Amino acid sequence: MANLDFKKFVISDAHLIWPKLDQTYKYNRAENKSEPVPASAQGANWSCGMLMSSEEAKRLWADLQAHYKDCQTRNPKLPKFSTVFGMKKRDDGLVVFSAKKNGVNAKGQPNKEPTVLAGDLTPLADRRIWSGSTGNVRFNAYPSQNPDGEGGISLLLDTIQVTKAVYGSGDDADDFKPVTMQTEQVELPDDDDRDEFGLPPIDKTPANEPPSASGDFDDEIPF
């Protein structure tokens, strides 16, 4: 019998962002980037984000929230719905929903990698696609809790059919041409207290962060 807590969703013509599908990766907080790691490493996963407009995101949020509340009818011990894990609102108003699949399951056994298909439904030869690619994404939504015990929906990555693949060489200098750098010497008065590089004062105001998981969003979408 199928597990009703796992509900299939398909996002058509999704704008893919931060796809990590060729192998498992882990986010290095100290370096502020994802790094390739063996599937057996703690926190290792395959993942892919889907970039949506605010209107698209609201519809998906509502569907996922409804699924969570349906799960609560079968499991009253689930806490109040707080958020969709892996969701982040950007400064430009767009919203990213990220689906992932861990390298190993709860028992420590290797998980099968997500299926990545080409447009003709054959296996995609080169899975190292970049942001800007598009495709149809299938994931399973299921209720879960974060370490603080807050309830929400997690997105389990299943299959991606890539309809437009964007690749890069990995060379940071590819987009540039060599030029002669110009220099200029500027003398400032002794009492000039401007920054030596002409930069404005550093703004120490904390950067905008995605909405935290809280019970305030039960009936209100946070974007």
Q: Give me the CATH number covering residue 154.
A: 2.40.50.140
| pLDDT of amino acid 170 | 53
Residue 145 lies in a domain: yes
Backbone dihedral region for residue 198 (phi beyond 0: left; psi -120 to 50: alpha; all else: beta): left
Could you tell me which residues come within 8 angstroms of residue 64 by beta carbon, excluding any fewer than 6 positions away?
Answer: 9, 84, 141, 153
Beta strands in the chain (DSSP E): 7-28, 33-36, 45-52, 81-84, 87-89, 95-102, 115-117, 134-145, 151-164
Q: Please state the domain count of the chain.
A: 1
Q: Which residues contact 9 (CB under 8 A, 6 or more apart)?
A: 60, 63, 64, 138, 139, 140, 141, 155
- Name the residue type at position 152: G
Task: Specify whether the CB–CB gap between 24 and 38 falls below 8 A.
Answer: yes
The answer to whether position 86 is within a domain reads: yes
Asked, for residue 216, whether it belongs to a domain, the answer is no
Query: By the 8 A CB rule, do 135 and 164 touch?
Result: yes
Residue 200 falls within a domain, yes or no?
no
Place of tokens 């703004």: 203
DSSP bridge pairs for 154: 142
Give residue 13's identity as a one-letter amino acid code: D
Asked, for residue 192, whether it belongs to a domain, the answer is: no
Domain assignment of residue 113, given as a range: 7-174
Distances (CA, A) of 94 to 11, 15, 65, 137, 186: 16, 11, 19, 18, 43
In a domain, 51, yes or no: yes
Q: Is residue 144 part of a domain?
A: yes
pTM of the model: 0.76
Residue-by-residue pLDDT tens, the chain, 223 positions: 689 999 999 999 999 999 999 999 999 989 888 999 999 999 999 999 999 999 999 999 999 999 999 999 999 999 999 999 999 999 999 999 999 999 999 999 999 999 999 999 999 999 999 999 999 999 999 999 999 999 999 999 999 999 999 998 655 544 555 565 554 444 444 444 434 333 344 444 444 443 333 344 445 677 6
Are 70 and 6 within 8 A, CB to CB? no
Predicted confidence at residue 205, as pLDDT, reads 43
**Backbone CA torsion sign across 167, 170, 171, 176:** positive
> How far from chain centre, in Å, is Cα 174?
26
- 161 within 8 A of 78, measured Cβ to Cβ: no
- From the CB of residue 172, how many other CB atoms can be counted at a distance below 10 Å? 8
Residue 194 resides in a domain:
no
